Amino acid sequence: MASAALSQRKHKDLGHYVAMKYRRSAGLLLSSILLFVGAPTAMAHELPSPSPVPGIAPLNELEQYKLALEHFRSDSIEFRKIANRFTTAINRANGFYEAAMRSAKNDRARTNITAQRDSSIEIAINMRDAAIAEMGGAPVEPTKPVKPIATATTKKTKVNSPSPTPSP
């Protein structure tokens, strides 16, 4: 009878060991995925600003607007890539969290899993913020230049002249 109890205890300990090993490897896998997904965001590039060339007339307001709009569009694409990587990292963290919670057997394991998810989300947030800061902040759409208002020609007011027909 003692051997049956000992065998049963070893079986429970073995299950706990396997579950903890699974959770540890899931945590390491999650952390490595977040680092892998966020690494390209750290390499965000800025487009070089055009330098003025001597002998060329400066750009007028509309040309400056078009150039700024082009930069805005390219920065927006980069910003969307950063946002997509962030969303992917959060979704993966939540997916691993849900899978690990299904196999969690006690409150301590659930607490550890929640802490790992919170840590992964914090890493993703920091990587997103760093990529946006390296990019120079979120892109802001340029304002369209205002067209000059043409002055309307005013007609002289017509002077009331007496009508040729007499009024009664």
The domain locations on the chain are: 2-45+60-135
Q: How far apart are the first and last CA of the chain?
A: 134
Is it the case that residue 52 has pLDDT exceeding 90? no
Q: Which amino acid is at 82?
A: I
* Residue 106: per-residue pLDDT: 94
35 vs 92: CA distance, rounded Å: 12
Which tokens sit at 127? 């990587």
Segment 40-55 shows an average pLDDT of 54
Which tokens sit at 40? 């390209």
Is it the case that residue 64 has pLDDT exceeding 90? no
106 vs 99: CA distance, rounded Å: 15
Over the stretch 134-158, which tens digit does the pLDDT of each residue have? Answer: 988 888 888 888 877 777 666 665 5
* Residue 62: per-residue pLDDT: 85
* Residue 85: per-residue pLDDT: 96
Over the stretch 102-145, which tens digit does the pLDDT of each residue have? Answer: 999 999 999 999 999 999 999 999 999 999 999 888 888 888 88
Strands (E), 77-158: none
